Amino acid sequence: MVRALFILLILSAPALALKPEAAKRLSEAQALMAEARQTYEQHFPDKPLWSQAIARAEEAARLDPEAPEVWRTLAEIYTTTGWWSRAEKAWERYLELAEDSSPEPLAEALRALGFLAYQRGDVEAARSYFKRALAMEPRNEEALAWLGRIYLEQGDGARAAEYWRRAASVNPSPRNKYFAEQAEKMSRFGTGAVKAFYQGYAAWEAGDYATAIQEFKKAVQLAPGWSEAHRWLARSYMDAGMPAEAVPHWEKVIELEGNPADARHFLKLAREASGVGISAAAAFFKGVAAYEQGKVEEAAAWFVKAVEADPGYAKAWRWLGRVRYEQGRYQEAVRAYERAVELDPDDTSARYFLRLARQAASE
């Protein structure tokens, strides 16, 4: 996320000559830091090599407190070992001392501080750091996206939209464009709905579908006319293996958006999956699509996957019988149709084609 967590360009500032003893301690600290990174898988300040690196760097800072490179090294050590309170102070001291004609390294450091503040839950500090970084680099996508994210989490759709639009102008990636568009819509639905929506999205992105469902439900309760909230609630239900619960929300998306193709597809899938499960239903529809394109072999493979996912899926057995019959594999067609009839004795079509398959098999 932040390249400057460990690397800031040495060319970022014209280095002042270090006092000899400070230079010696700093060199020792940097060597210990490099050795610690190679030695340990997890980095903590009480690990022997890190403890020694910290002691040497802090001594260098006492010997030459006006040297920016000393504070940069200290900041990198504290950051790597997760000593956040000291990391922040060291970065800030470095920023005070570094005399630089280019804003890039300082903006990098500010974004690092913003990320660290966000990680420890200090969102206000994070926002301040990212804004300061953005003042130095107004077209930095990372800072713009973080500010858009923070404002979304706080439920401020209007401000979030501003930063996501700027991020999209820098890089029109699918993510930036999506949030730029959605944040503008979110600004109409109120703080509570926006906050619940974003928390739902964050939970969905982390694979926590239970929390995603809970938050998206809040969003649709607060903003019943928000189609995107219904869409993501339906999607979360599908991902959680609860297709029946997704059905009314896909229906709502169709009502609000004027029958979009993707919602029609997922509504059909959700209805089918309510009886047989999503894996089986998805495989079944892929089989039908392949068959309609004349890809009989591919269709057969998908129907096999559908009945493997749900051996009680009568419709998939009937379609498997159909493609096996067309392939001239009559014994397999007979077995598939027999299973379809066993599962659904009222399926007159399966009974009729079972007779044809038996006749063909006997010939």
pLDDT digits (tens, 9 = 90+) for 277-327: 889 988 998 999 999 999 999 999 999 999 999 999 999 999 999 999 999
- Assign domain 189-276 to a CATH class: mainly alpha
Q: What is the pLDDT of residues 23-55, one digit of tens each?
A: 999 999 999 999 999 999 999 999 999 999 999
CATH code, 297-362? 1.25.40.10
pLDDT over 70 at 9, yes or no: no
pLDDT over 80 at 2, yes or no: no
pLDDT over 80 at 338, yes or no: yes
Least-confidence region, from 159-168, 183-192, 196-205: 183-192
Least-confidence region, from 157-161, 219-223, 307-311: 157-161
- Assign domain 1-138 to a CATH class: mainly alpha
* H helical segments located in the chain: 20-39, 48-63, 68-80, 84-97, 104-119, 123-136, 141-153, 157-170, 174-186, 191-205, 209-222, 227-239, 243-257, 261-276, 278-292, 296-309, 314-326, 330-343, 348-362
Q: How confident is the model at residue 242 (pLDDT cuts 50, 70, 90)?
A: very high
Q: Where in the chain is the domain with CATH 1.25.40.10?
A: 1-138, 189-276, 297-362
Q: How far apart are CA 345 and CA 338, in angstroms?
A: 10
Percent of the chain with pLDDT over 70: 94
Q: How far apart are CA 244 and CA 224, in angstroms?
A: 19
Q: What is the pLDDT of residues 102-132, one digit of tens each?
A: 677 678 888 888 998 898 889 999 999 999 9
CA-closest candidate to residue 181, choices 230, 135, 173: 173
- The pLDDT of residue 7 is 40
Q: Is the C-alpha dihedral spanning 341, 343, 347, 350 positive or negative?
A: negative
Average pLDDT over residues 88-106: 77
Average pLDDT over residues 73-90: 86
